[in-house]
Structure 1
Amino acid sequence: MSSVTPAQRIRATTWFHVHLVSDSTGETLSTMLKSTAARFERAKPLEHVASLVRSNAQLDKVLARIEQAPGLVMYTIVDRQMRRRLEVKCAELQVPAIPVLDPLLNAFADYLGLEQTMQTGAQHELDDDYFRRIAAIDYTMAHDDGQMTWDLESADVVLVGVSRTSKTPTCMYLAHRGVKAANVPLVPTSDPPPELAQLRKPLVVGLTASPTRLSQIRRTRLTNLAANQDAATYSDEDQVKEEVTKAKRYFAKNGWPTIDVTRRSVEETAAKVLTLMSARQGGDISQG
């Protein structure tokens, strides 16, 4: 058992300024900062986000903020003159200026033998991929929590599982990746919709979790909802264990791959689903 108190843990935390400077939305920088900072348990970034920085007047304000709160600077800026101004200022302040995409872009250019397209926000153009993502989000919202089961054949993937196995958030994450994802809950008082076992086009994936963990999550949900005692069986561990066992048998009967989400984040579950989809396209699907 650790002897470090919460107060000591707070004092041990290193807070540092990070300026995210982008001529686009800044989503790439935010994601990379989150992934990198997660590797340093006692370091917490204080984010200063400057997105859509496309003029010298906007950059002047950014440089002033960096001077007021010096720290790491991560940037994605296409304009060479603005990049140079940012780099010079950071050198004067003796703070790192990190062009996060440069190593990737240079490697791609060398491998492909092609020049880069120097276009701001090129990844956010209203192209086919953009409209595919919008269509996927619309589809996923319309097919959430067992809605429109008669239309599941048009899905790319269908997630099935008992209550609180992260079906909806996983589907929404997949939808933002352009995947038309539907989800169907398994309810102990009802049989699964017959359409599920008849699906041919979509990949059907069963989601399961530890009964103990599910029971805890459900109990917390009931507390937050101020539910009455009549709903207590919803979180009863024996009842949950029976639900999970029944669900696993159902998945096995239909030959569906399964994912145990007990120790997985939504992003990790979605990544596993994408891997299963890729394997299916290649003719190799396995239980997970």
Structure 2
Amino acid sequence: MSPARSARLATYFHVHLVSDSTGETLNAMAKAVAARFEGVIPIEHIYALVRSDRQMERVLEEISAAPGVVLHTLVDRSLRTQLEDGCRRLDMPQIGALDPLEGALSRYLGAALSTRVGAQHALDHDYFNRIAALDFAMAHDDGQGTADQLEGADVVLCGVSRTSKTPTCIYLAHRGVRAANVPLVPGQEDGERLTTLRNPLVIGLTVSPERLVAIRKNRLEGLGAGGTSSYVDHDAVRDETVKARRAFERRGWPTIDVTRRSVEETAAAIINLLSERRSHRVGTSW
């Protein structure tokens, strides 16, 4: 096997994620860490809502059948001990994913850790705020809502078709941000109605013409609607994106180039802009 061929082969390994809550935190942490290793692909085994001895016994049986690394965020001391003892018998590494941060904060704050399972998922004000933000995003998607209704938004995203406006709004909603979006449609909507908004921060999303054409072609193929049209014509798309950029500049809206950004990265940039706005330091582009 040639060195080039060998370099392309991925390394697979089993990772067991054990949580007495939903497992969302643990799953996100595992993905973030694994992404830092090139050519390494984890085979995830997720065990959520593990809250009894019997459930833990089944988890250990699964772990024994697929040796690998065990990560956990267990709050209950007896369950944690059961998992640690079981991994020790299996000679398998186990890691309390939140231990370093919890220990550091406990020492700094001089406070004891809570033993309440799923404390981060309590039905508190923040939880209901996220649900309300999600409802808002869905009700004000793709240009829905009058100017008066859009005043209830924290941010309004504006951009040409296929600039990830909707998924970005949904992601922001999960962070408690009320987001709406308005598409720029050649010959119909140019964002002028957004210039009267006083409360929301209006942000323009831009993208390179080449990237936009590729995205739109994939979209049409997925819908079984091939063929040629101004929607995917390079010259028409370039003209569309140039007009959008000029409209954003003319109105003084901050802009974010989403050409090489994931939805998560775009949302992070938007949250930064919102924070800067609150500090009266809004920039012009990201």
TM-score by length of 1: 0.94
Asked whether the 8 Å contact 2:183–2:189 carries over to 1, the reply is: no
2:219 is paired with a residue whose SS is helix
What CA deviation, in whole Å up to 9, does each residue of 1:186-211 have, x standing for no partner? 00121335430011111111000111
2:176 to 164, 178, 197: 178
Identity %, equivalent residues: 57
Distance of 1:213 and 1:273 partners within structure 2: 21
RMSD of aligned Cα (Å): 1.5
Residue 217 of structure 1 is matched in structure 2 by: 215
Does residue 62 (structure 1) correspond to residue 59 (structure 2)? The answer is yes
1:128 to 125, 129, 141: 125
What CA deviation, in whole Å up to 9, does each residue of 1:26-66 have, x standing for no partner? 00111011111111121111111100000101001001111
Asked whether the 8 Å contact 2:158–2:165 carries over to 1, the reply is: yes
Residue 187 of structure 2 is matched in structure 1 by: 189
Distance of 2:120 and 2:111 partners within structure 1: 18
Q: How does 1:84-233 map to 2 (within 5 A)?
A: 84-150=81-147, 151-227=149-225, 229=227, 232-233=229-230
Moved over 3 A (4+): 2-5
1:52 is paired with a residue whose SS is coil
Q: CA deviation at 1:228?
A: 5.4
1:251 to 243, 248, 251: 248
Distance of 1:129 and 1:284 partners within structure 2: 26
Asked whether the 8 Å contact 1:215–1:236 carries over to 2, the reply is: yes
Asked whether the 8 Å contact 1:18–1:74 carries over to 2, the reply is: yes
Runs (5+) with no aligned partner, structure 1: none
TM-score by length of 2: 0.95
Residue 17 of structure 2 is matched in structure 1 by: 20
Question: How many residue pairs are counted as aligned between the two chains?
Answer: 283
Does residue 271 (structure 1) correspond to residue 268 (structure 2)? The answer is yes
2:217 is paired with a residue whose SS is helix
What CA deviation, in whole Å up to 9, does each residue of 1:1-47 have, x standing for no partner? x9845xx566x221111100000000011101111111112111111
Q: CA deviation at 1:132?
A: 0.2
Cα gap change, 1:75 to 1:228, in 2 (>3 Å) = closer
